[in-house]
């Protein structure tokens, strides 16, 4: 089990860890240059660099581990082997001891947890990179879930982002393909904004209430916060009784049950994207519970600290790009439509010509685009046949670095959401009625009311 000590919050300590990582990246680069340049050697080199980054982030823990998680979900930012190493952060959950839990409660409520609840379990039953969750009993509410934030975690965000920028700049000076500094900066800006929202549990309580009011579709359950027992670093909410994905699959659900919950998830995310314009942007499997037979819904959705508002222009651009990509490869409007959509989104500059886009950028994007739109290629899509996320070749990574102008602020959260949804539905092996991007994109004009923002 990971250490129970709190994350190291000293700027000097955290800076020294990152500085050492940057130096090790430089040494790894020198060592790689003297080796025979083979594909396997390059892959091993990228994995080694990923381990150096993860090692530093793992020592920093706290928000740094969350940064590692978020970076690992950006397919066009870092090479595949680097991302694979950073994905290990999804399995790191350092617990905090009882004395530190008491300190958080005293600072938040002026009382110990035992004085606020009729019963409080000191051992957490769930953990994440920024906090951990305890079961408790509360008069009038029965069993509740109490999320407690790691002490001092919020104070490290700005310095951790600055340190991570330093490490990524060191990575950019190696021979692995990286996008331009402007692209990396835009992604890091989005990650910093995401973390600032996620460490504010009052903000998360508001998100829980908003989604419960606006996104409570049939088959979806969203736990409600309990305001009297919620503060910026402590969130108390209804306890949902259910099984996480692997445990639920171990019960051997029928194909009809898997299809049913898969359809619920698909419909809910399409509704959030195209009707509400606000999404759950951290959809890893730990944030979903499959509820028992007879419950009021099929899937419980947890952890709304990381959400993303999608502007009407962004939603329109995504729908137009995907609809163009569904045209036949020989259709002359295919590349034209995608280029126009990407220019409207700001992904590429207005000066990028169609011949250059077709010859250089389109081939670099083709595999990822095909993976993204694959569910729309059939009216009913069988996710047991879903292809895995593609690995971007180094030469394609370099083309992306040359031509991508910026990353729209909504894009990182949207890509995380899409990758998480695809993973969930693939693990379920569900058959889902998907429709088309055009049909979903028409929904805002027909059904929606304006979103009130994050």
- What number is the average pLDDT over the span 180-199? 80
Q: What percent of the chain has pLDDT over 90?
A: 48
Query: Which pLDDT does position 63 carry in this prediction?
Result: 67
pLDDT value of residue 77: 65
Q: What does the pLDDT look like over 398-437, one tens digit per residue?
A: 788 888 888 888 998 898 899 899 989 999 999 999 987 7
d(CA 320, CA 317): 5
Q: Looking at residue 402, what is its pLDDT?
A: 83
Q: Which residues contact 260 (CB under 8 A, 6 or more apart)?
A: 219, 298
| pTM of the predicted model over 0.75 | yes
Does pLDDT of 90 surpass 90? no
Mean pLDDT of 52-69: 62
- CA 448, CA 296: separation in Å to the nearest integer? 25
Phi, psi of 12, deg, nearest 5: -65, -45
Compute the average pLDDT of residues 21-29: 49
pLDDT band at residue 308 using 50, 70 and 90 as cut-offs = very high
Token look-up 């971007």 returns 392
Q: From 203, 310, 298, 220, select the one nearest 257 (Cα to Cα).
A: 298
- C-alpha 20/C-alpha 26 separation (Å) is 10
- Please tell me the predicted confidence (pLDDT) of residue 392: 75
Q: Is 311 helix (H, G, I), strand (E, B) or coil?
A: coil
Name the DSSP letter for residue 331: -
| Mean pLDDT for the stretch of residues 274-302 | 85
Q: State residue 99's pLDDT score.
A: 84
Residue 7 clears pLDDT 50, i.e. is over it = no
- Determine the Cα–Cα distance for residues 230 and 233; give it in Å rounded to an integer: 8
Comparing 185 with 335, the larger pLDDT belongs to 335
């Amino acid at each position: 089990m990971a250490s129970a000590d709190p994350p190291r919050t000293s700027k000097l300590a955290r800076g020294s860890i990152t500085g050492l990582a940057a130096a090790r990246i430089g040494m790894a680069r020198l060592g790689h240059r003297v080796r025979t340049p083979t594909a396997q050697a390059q892959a091993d080199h990228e994995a080694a660099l990923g381990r150096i980054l993860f090692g530093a982030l793992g020592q920093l823990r706290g928000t740094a581990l969350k940064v590692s998680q978020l970076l690992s979900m950006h397919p066009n930012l870092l090479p595949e082997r680097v991302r694979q190493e950073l994905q290990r952060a999804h399995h790191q959950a350092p617990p905090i001891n009882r004395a530190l839990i008491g300190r958080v409660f005293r600072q938040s409520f002026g009382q110990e947890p035992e004085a606020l609840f009729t019963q409080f379990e000191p051992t957490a039953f769930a953990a994440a990179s920024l906090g951990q969750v305890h079961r408790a009993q509360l008069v009038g509410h029965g069993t509740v879930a109490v999320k407690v934030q790691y002490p001092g975690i919020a104070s490290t965000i700005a310095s951790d982002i600055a340190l991570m920028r330093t490490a990524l700049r060191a990575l950019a000076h190696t021979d692995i393909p990286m996008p331009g500094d402007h692209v990396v900066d835009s992604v890091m800006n989005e990650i910093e904004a995401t973390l600032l929202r996620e460490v504010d549990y009052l903000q998360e309580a508001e998100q829980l209430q908003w989604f419960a009011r606006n996104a409570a579709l049939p088959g979806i359950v969203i736990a409600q916060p309990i305001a009297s027992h919620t503060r910026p670093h402590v969130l108390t909410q209804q306890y949902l009784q259910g099984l996480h994905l692997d445990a639920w699959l171990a019960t051997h659900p029928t194909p009809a049950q898997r299809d049913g919950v898969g359809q619920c998830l698909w419909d809910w995310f399409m509704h959030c994207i195209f009707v509400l314009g606000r999404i759950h942007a951290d959809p890893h499997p730990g944030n979903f519970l499959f509820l028992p037979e007879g419950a009021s819904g099929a899937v419980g959705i947890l952890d709304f600290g990381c959400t993303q508002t999608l502007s009407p222009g962004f939603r329109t651009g995504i729908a137009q790009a995907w609809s163009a990509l569904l045209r036949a490869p020989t259709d002359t409007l295919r590349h034209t439509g995608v280029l126009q959509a990407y220019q409207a989104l700001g992904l590429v500059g207005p000066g990028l010509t169609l011949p250059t886009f077709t010859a250089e950028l389109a081939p670099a994007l083709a595999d990822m685009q095909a993976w993204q739109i694959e569910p729309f290629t059939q009216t009913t899509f069988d996710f047991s046949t879903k292809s895995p996320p593609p690995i971007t070749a180094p030469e394609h990574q370099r083309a992306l670095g040359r031509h991508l102008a910026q990353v729209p602020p909504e894009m990182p959260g949207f890509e995380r959401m899409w990758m998480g949804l695809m993973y969930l539905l693939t693990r379920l092996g569900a058959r889902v009625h998907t429709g088309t991007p055009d049909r979903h994109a028409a929904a805002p004009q027909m059904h929606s009311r304006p979103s009130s923002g994050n």
